[in-house]
């Protein structure tokens, strides 16, 4: 894994820095905002994720000798900028939505206040983390809602970049998944891990019976046996014959899952294995999970669809300059006005109006006043204050806190937000 995160950026950020140091604007105080103009895929809400991971990466945002040598050799920036970068430490402030929070169009997910030089070079790193993690978390929340009380595991490592897989497992756990197959996500972020055997285990042995017997000898009768390598009915019969009616579970990874699950449940019950749980995998997404709601399924495993955002692999978030100080120190709102790609100038505060336990509005107001409107809760919390990081958002403890916050926030959703069809956002974003 890379030791420095400083070059996880786009060249134009450093060329802007270089030019700003030349013309004297580099040290103007600025406010950058990370937000989404709309929700991807006509979804009814988004889930903000990646803040804790980003803060850890920003701690390591240092330009090493190798980084600086590369920039010099490639003539990306001049000597003055190389000297500036040699001593770079983010000294500004960052506030934003708590990780696991729900968001809607125009929600100010992160607000970065710093000099132009300090803030502009964070754009790509901030967007790459929050766009991916939020896309996965949003898909995971929809899948978790479709699964109801049934456990749902993340199994998508082989369908993602090797470190993207770790980030995806983390984001999915925050948004309601119960475990992951990825061991690095368990070690780094404390996500519970799971897994038993693949089809290769059965194919390794001379017979399915030999494979099941060896797995049970190694892991006990509480293990889950994969019963669809050959004939599913025969696999179920063999599994119960070897483990007895106390067999912990079976996994199904193919076929018409509603029909197959019903047949397997009936077969297990007739063999006396009434407590054996059924897990289904096989290219599931939120729609397939919803279609299995009435089936005798006990848990799910989701891979490809999850780590690709279930068709929307980015949250579509942007990072824009929204305010700067003039020569006298007065704050000036600034905004991009391009059609369909505009922004709203000025620093913002955000609140969610909640009536009788249900969210009704996202309130985004142009003010530095953090007074909470009546009947609302504040959405913005500090992450970095004058270069000092709040470590409570980072590491495994930060993941646990984000997961708990997501569960609380999701309870506020109106019923219409739980539908999977494309629609307008579940609550409107208003100015107040």
Number of H helices, E strands in the chain: 15, 19
- What are the residue ranges of helices labelled H in 310-365? none
- Adjacent-strand bridge partners of 93: 113
Contacts of 202 (CB under 8 A, 6+ apart): 208, 211, 212, 226, 229, 230
d(C-alpha 277, C-alpha 279), whole Å: 7
Per-residue pLDDT tens for 341-375? 888 999 999 999 999 999 999 999 998 777 899 99
Structure token pair of residue 171: 């984001």
Closest CA to 116 of 28, 33, 32, 19: 28
Give how far the C-alpha of residue 233 lies from the chain's centroid of Cα atoms, to the nearest Å: 38
Cα angle 263, 151, 304 (rounded to 5 degrees) comes to 85
- Is 196 exposed, middle or buried (CB count within 10 Å of its CB: 0-12, 13-18, 19+)? middle
d(C-alpha 257, C-alpha 145), whole Å: 19
pTM exceeding 0.85: yes
Output phi, psi for 12, to 5 deg. Answer: -65, -20
Per-residue pLDDT tens for 242-296? 999 999 999 999 999 999 999 999 999 999 999 999 999 999 999 999 999 999 9
At residue 339, the pLDDT reads 81
Structure token pair of residue 186: 């368990």
Q: Which CATH number is 11-136+315-430's, of 3.90.1150.10, 3.20.140.10, 3.90.1170.50, 3.90.226.10?
A: 3.20.140.10
Per-residue tens of pLDDT for the chain, all 432 residues: 456 889 999 999 999 999 999 999 999 999 999 999 999 999 999 999 999 999 999 998 999 999 999 999 999 999 999 999 999 999 999 999 999 999 999 999 999 999 999 999 999 999 999 999 999 999 999 999 999 999 999 999 999 999 999 999 999 999 999 999 999 999 999 999 999 999 999 999 999 999 999 999 999 999 999 999 999 999 999 999 999 999 999 999 999 999 999 999 999 999 999 999 999 999 999 999 999 999 999 999 999 999 999 999 999 999 999 999 998 889 999 998 888 788 899 999 999 999 999 999 999 999 877 789 999 999 999 999 999 999 999 999 999 999 999 999 999 999 999 999 999 999 999 987
Checking phi first, is residue 168 left (phi over 0); if not, alpha (psi -120 to 50) or beta? alpha
d(C-alpha 40, C-alpha 76), whole Å: 34
Please state at what angle helix 208-219 crosses helix 232-243, rounded to 10 degrees: 40
At residue 369, the pLDDT reads 77
At residue 2, the pLDDT reads 52
At residue 340, the pLDDT reads 79
Closest CA to 399 of 46, 49, 108, 45: 49
Assigned CATH topology for domain 141-311: TIM Barrel (3.20.20)
Q: What is the DSSP string of 400-413?
A: HHHHHHHHHHHHTS
d(C-alpha 165, C-alpha 169), whole Å: 6
Where do the domains of the chain lie? 11-136+315-430, 141-311
Q: What is the DSSP string of 207-264?
A: SHHHHHHHHHHHH-TTSEEE--SS-HHHHHHHHHHHH-TT--EEEE-SS-HHHHHHHH
At residue 185, the pLDDT reads 98
d(C-alpha 382, C-alpha 210), whole Å: 57
d(C-alpha 372, C-alpha 99), whole Å: 20
């Amino acid at each position: 894994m890379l030791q420095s995160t400083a070059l996880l950026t786009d060249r134009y950020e450093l060329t802007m820095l270089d030019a700003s140091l030349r013309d004297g604007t580099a040290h103007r105080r600025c406010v950058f905002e990370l937000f989404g103009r709309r929700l991807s895929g006509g979804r009814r809400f988004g889930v903000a994720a990646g803040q804790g991971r980003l803060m850890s990466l920003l701690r390591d945002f240092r330009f090493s000798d190798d980084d600086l040598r590369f920039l010099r050799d490639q003539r990306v920036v001049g000597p003055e900028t190389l000297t500036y970068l040699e001593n770079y430490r983010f000294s500004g402030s960052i506030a934003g939505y708590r990780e696991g929070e729900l968001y809607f169009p125009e929600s100010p997910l992160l607000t970065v206040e710093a000099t132009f030089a300090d803030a502009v070079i964070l754009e790509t790193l901030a967007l790459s983390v929050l766009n991916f993690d939020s896309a996965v978390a949003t898909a995971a929340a929809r899948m978790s809602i479709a699964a109801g009380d049934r456990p749902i595991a993340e199994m998508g490592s082989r369908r993602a970049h090797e470190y993207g897989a770790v980030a995806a497992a983390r984001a999915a756990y925050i948004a309601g998944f119960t475990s992951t197959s990825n061991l690095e996500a368990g070690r780094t972020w404390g996500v519970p891990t799971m897994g038993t055997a693949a089809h290769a285990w059965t194919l390794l042995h001379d017979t399915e019976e030999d494979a099941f017997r060896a797995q049970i000898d190694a892991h006990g009768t509480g293990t889950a046996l994969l019963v669809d390598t050959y004939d599913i009915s025969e696999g179920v019969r063999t599994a119960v014959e070897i483990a007895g009616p106390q067999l912990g579970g079976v996994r199904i990874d193919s076929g018409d899952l509603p029909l197959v699950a019903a047949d397997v449940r009936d077969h297990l019950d007739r063999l006396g294995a009434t407590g054996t749980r059924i897990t289904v995998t096989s290219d599931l997404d939120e729609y397939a999970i919803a279609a299995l709601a009435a089936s005798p399924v006990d848990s799910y495993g989701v891979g490809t669809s999850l780590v690709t955002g279930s068709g929307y692999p980015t949250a579509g978030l942007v990072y824009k300059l929204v305010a700067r100080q003039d020569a006298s120190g007065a704050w000036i709102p600034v905004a991009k006005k391009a059609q369909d790609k505009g922004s709203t100038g000025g620093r913002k505060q955000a609140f969610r109006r909640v009536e009788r336990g249900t969210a009704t509005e996202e309130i985004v107001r142009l003010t530095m006043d953090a007074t909470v409107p009546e009947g609302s809760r504040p959405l913005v919390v500090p992450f970095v204050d004058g270069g000092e990081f709040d470590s409570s958002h980072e590491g495994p403890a930060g993941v646990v806190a984000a997961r708990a916050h997501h569960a609380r926030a999701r309870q506020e959703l109106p019923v219409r937000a739980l539908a999977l069809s494309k629609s307008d956002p579940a609550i409107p974003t208003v100015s107040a």
